[in-house]
Structure 1
Amino acid sequence: MKPGSRKPHRKTRTGCKTCKQRKIKCDEQRPQCTNCVKHSVPCDYLSPAVGSTTSPGLSQPPTPSATTPGELPSHGPSPLSNQLPSAHPPDLNMIDLELLHNFCTSTCLTLYEDARLKDMWKITVPQLGFQYDFVMRGILAISALHIARFVPDKSDYYMSQAMMHYQSGLQTASALLSKIDETNCEAIWIFSNFPLFWTLATAHQTDDFLLIGNSIGASWLDLVRGASAILSQTHEQLHAGSLGPTFRLGAIRADLREQAAYDFPPDQDPTQDLRSQMAYSKLPPESYDLCMKAIEELRKSFALFYNNANRTSNDFGDIFIWLFRVNNGYLDLIRDHCQEAIAIFAYFCVMLKALDHKWWIQGAAVHLLKQIWDALDEDHRLWIRWPIEQIGWIPSSTASRMTSAVNTPAAAPTTSTTPAHMSPPAPAT
């Protein structure tokens, strides 16, 4: 053999097509050859035999042998032994498995602070996802959003996955809102949480007013209503089922909220200014009552919020309970662009800002406050001075005036009108 010449090898005509196309030796291992396994490529040995009428991924059930009535079938080979090793198994969706793994090991731990709620979202919610496709879609959508936030070079890809799963799940869940019963109420209630996570996580990507706009995220208040309706219609089933601990914990926190409101000193209540402003409003009596009730519920939330000041952080449920306690009529006022109702919502942004450490809420308070500012007239913008101060946001009109003042050159001096005693000293000679 000449130096440098290739070592001869046995040629075969029965190797897999992939190896033949790559012009490499196939070891003909079944059900996949070693080369295909090594390079993670499909091996045609997994394909059904030529001439088979079975579609890929499906196997034909064995044909039962004919027997006379009452006669037991003869003991032959097990039906499983008749299944050829070349039967093509369903392909694994690796991206969905990645999203589910990320949700169960990471995303679920970022939604709530309470350890019991973390366990529920880690264990119970995925179990519901295996039973209900739309719940699993919600899980995968929020997980994809989570990865997109922290993997910027693949953000567009994961965002497309998130949008695909979210829209599919939302369509199915919305159709079931009118068909809630004891068998699906848990799944529908769990899914009603996902639009809230979605809207806040994607707030920075849209200019739509989150309370009024027509985007897919703008329906979050409708789903808050839907969640409230689910709670009222299936209260007993939800409390008795696998989500029972969640609702019992919520009831405990709600009692603490009422107690905190009872002990809340008036001089610490930030809603006092709102009450004063409402005294000058010209709303019809019904609208006035709805706004005043929303302010009272806001006062209760602030009482618990400030009562938790010594805690490391406020929990999601303690803050968002306000959305579930306000009357649906108040939410209708927001949709009707009622200036007073929108201004009241700005105070909620102060509590929302306290959750800015959560990836899916970060920046939402400022974004929402900006949109509220844009929706208010000049008179009602004065109503939200306190939320603006607390959040530290600078309105665009104020910022532009400040920029203009900085960039405008000073006028050339003319005849001095400065009193002599205020004149600068003459330069030393």
Structure 2
Amino acid sequence: MEHNSVRSRRTHHKSRLGCRNCKKRRIKCDEKKPACSNCQHHGISCDFTASLPASPSPATSDPDEPQRRPASKFRFRASRYQSHLSRTSMPVSETSTASTGVQCDDPSIRPDGLSLPDLQLFHHFVTATYRTVAEDTHGWELWQVHVPQWSMTYSSILHLLLAFSALHRGHQQPASAPELRNRYIAQADQHFTFGVSTVTSILSQFELTPENAQPIYIAAILICFVYFARGPLPGEYLVFSDAGQAEWLVLLRGVRLIVSTRRQHIFKGVMVPPNADQEMMKQRYISAEWLEIWQGDQRQLLEVRQLVRQRSADFVQGDMCVSLVDSLMQTFEDVYVKMSAHRERVGLMQIIVGWLYRLPEAYISLLQEKQPPALVLLAHWSILLHYMRPVWYMRGWDCHVIDGVQRSLPWEWKEWASWPLRRIQSLENPG
């Protein structure tokens, strides 16, 4: 009689060689080199990458130099644009910063492989660009210190930061150097592509956590900055477009999703605004310089309010438009209070764009349907954009939005959008 043999249990060798990130999250690491799949998926730096020796450049390597080098988180590599640069047609200082090494369209390229031009863009951000996104020392510290620190862990922030810096460098070039400006734009586009894809992946898979809420929020804000800095696009007017859904509206909804999901994890620590700003806004002081202008704007907005109220029966959501006129008047007043304190104009961003951020979806639908009352209200809001013209990445948006409104309105409503246009023209030519 045969004895039934007991099947032996297959042995299992538990690996302890997973990367540090996977161990911390207590998930299985596939131990792929140079970066495991989990780290690639989340767009974060894998310590497997840091453990790889940097390959010496053939042009600079010394045969007597030891082959093993200390592990480094970032590695230098050649720029994809380097072959297109003419060193004789460009000053040395510009040649070194006119290229970037990020090949975002090639998945085989690791996002943490940095070229020297990338580091020069990084240096430009922490020495110049950071001052253009905040109005005081609290904000400058956030963007000069903390955001660059986060970029060392979150590659999405790194690439968006470099994209924004490249656009700033391009903006600083003279009109007589369009080729150089276009090279910076090309750099920005490459970095922007990778940065956006990483943030989109996290949001689409609902992987926003208390730990990454602040960095992902900053990445989303950087995406909006880059969008503004690239300048107005034909047919795109922030919250409505000539065809389809406006691109910036998609970005705005992404920021909304992040804030609504993780507000308590975002606005804490270094992200808490200073109390001084809140006290200033409570005082409601408007200087003589701005008081007469504010009173003129207020009279015009009251006329718009009366118009919308009279025509509310003819349009869907008429009552909502009336209440939005009231909120826009409050926004105008907030802007004049802020400017009376002689603060940096970039500080108006939160107030002015904040009005768009708080718009109800029903009103946004009216804009997309090109309903006249909604468009007229947006035209008056665009006056406030003019006050942000000193901010390099906001120039041209005021006239662009009003132009889109004018072309979208039926002829009997065009006069109501003409007043905001004349108002902006009077600000441009005060004499």
What TM-score results when the alignment is normalised by the length of structure 1?
0.64
Distance 2:129 2:219 in 1: 15
Distance 2:326 2:333 in 1: 11
Distance 2:398 2:194 in 1: 28
Task: Indicate how the Cα distance of structure 1 residues 209 and 351 shifts in structure 2: closer, same or farther if over 3 A, else same.
Answer: closer
Q: 1:151 aligns with which of 164, 167, 173?
A: 173
Q: CA deviation at 1:132?
A: 0.9
Task: Indicate how the Cα distance of structure 1 residues 161 and 309 shifts in structure 2: closer, same or farther if over 3 A, else same.
Answer: closer
Do the aligned residues in 2 keep the contact of 1:108 with 1:122 (CA within 8 Å)? yes
Code of the aligned partner of 2:231: A
Name 1:291's counterpart in structure 2: 321
Code of the aligned partner of 2:338: N
Q: CA deviation at 1:317?
A: 1.8
Name 1:311's counterpart in structure 2: 341
Q: Which aligned pairs between 1:87-236 and structure 2 lie closer than 5 A? A: 93-152=115-174, 153=177, 154-177=180-203, 178-204=206-232, 206-213=234-241, 218-236=246-264
Distance 1:318 1:269 in 2: 21
Per-residue CA distance 1:249-291 (angstroms, 9 max, x = gap): 776677667999xxx9799454212212202325677622332
Stretches of structure 2 that go unaligned for 5 or more consecutive residues are: 1-55, 68-74, 76-111, 288-293
Q: 2:265 aligns with which of 237, 253, 270?
A: 237
SS in 1 for 2:310: coil
Per-residue CA distance 1:323-355 (angstroms, 9 max, x = gap): 222223222222222222122111121111011
Code of the aligned partner of 1:295: V
SS in 2 for 1:109: helix
Do the aligned residues in 1 keep the contact of 2:286 with 2:336 (CA within 8 Å)? no
Q: CA deviation at 1:208?
A: 3.3
Q: CA deviation at 1:356?
A: 0.5
Distance 2:114 2:154 in 1: 19
SS in 2 for 1:45: coil
Q: CA deviation at 1:377?
A: 1.6
Per-residue CA distance 1:108-141 (angstroms, 9 max, x = gap): 1012223311221111111121121111111111
Q: Which aligned pairs between 1:7-406 and structure 2 lie closer than 5 A? A: 41-43=59-61, 45=63, 93-152=115-174, 153=177, 154-177=180-203, 178-204=206-232, 206-213=234-241, 218-245=246-273, 268-282=298-312, 287-312=317-342, 313-314=344-345, 315=347, 316-392=349-425
Task: Indicate how the Cα distance of structure 1 residues 235 and 205 shifts in structure 2: closer, same or farther if over 3 A, else same.
Answer: closer
Do the aligned residues in 1 keep the contact of 2:236 with 2:247 (CA within 8 Å)? no
Distance 1:174 1:166 in 2: 12
Distance 2:260 2:317 in 1: 24
Name 1:85's counterpart in structure 2: none
SS in 1 for 2:366: helix
The higher radius of gyration belongs to: 1
Distance 2:220 2:283 in 1: 25
Do the aligned residues in 1 keep the contact of 2:235 with 2:242 (CA within 8 Å)? no
SS in 2 for 1:209: coil
Task: Indicate how the Cα distance of structure 1 residues 165 and 206 shifts in structure 2: closer, same or farther if over 3 A, else same.
Answer: farther
Task: Indicate how the Cα distance of structure 1 residues 238 and 215 shifts in structure 2: closer, same or farther if over 3 A, else same.
Answer: farther
Do the aligned residues in 1 keep the contact of 2:245 with 2:368 (CA within 8 Å)? no
CA RMSD, 1 decimal: 3.6
Aligned residues: 315
SS in 2 for 1:112: coil
SS in 2 for 1:360: helix
275-284 vs 130-139, greater mean Cα deviation: 275-284
Distance 2:226 2:297 in 1: 37
Q: Which aligned pairs between 1:399-418 and structure 2 lie closer than 5 A? A: none
SS in 2 for 1:392: helix
Distance 1:132 1:330 in 2: 35
Percent identity for Structure 1 against Structure 2: 24
Distance 1:118 1:196 in 2: 18
Distance 2:195 2:281 in 1: 30
Distance 1:144 1:255 in 2: 38
Task: Indicate how the Cα distance of structure 1 residues 213 and 267 shifts in structure 2: closer, same or farther if over 3 A, else same.
Answer: closer
SS in 1 for 2:394: coil
SS in 1 for 2:317: helix
Name 2:72's counterpart in structure 1: none
Code of the aligned partner of 2:329: R
Task: Indicate how the Cα distance of structure 1 residues 229 and 266 shifts in structure 2: closer, same or farther if over 3 A, else same.
Answer: farther
SS in 1 for 2:390: coil
Task: Indicate how the Cα distance of structure 1 residues 256 and 300 shifts in structure 2: closer, same or farther if over 3 A, else same.
Answer: farther
Do the aligned residues in 1 keep the contact of 2:151 with 2:158 (CA within 8 Å)? yes
What TM-score results when the alignment is normalised by the length of structure 2?
0.64
Stretches of structure 1 that go unaligned for 5 or more consecutive residues are: 1-35, 50-56, 58-89, 395-429
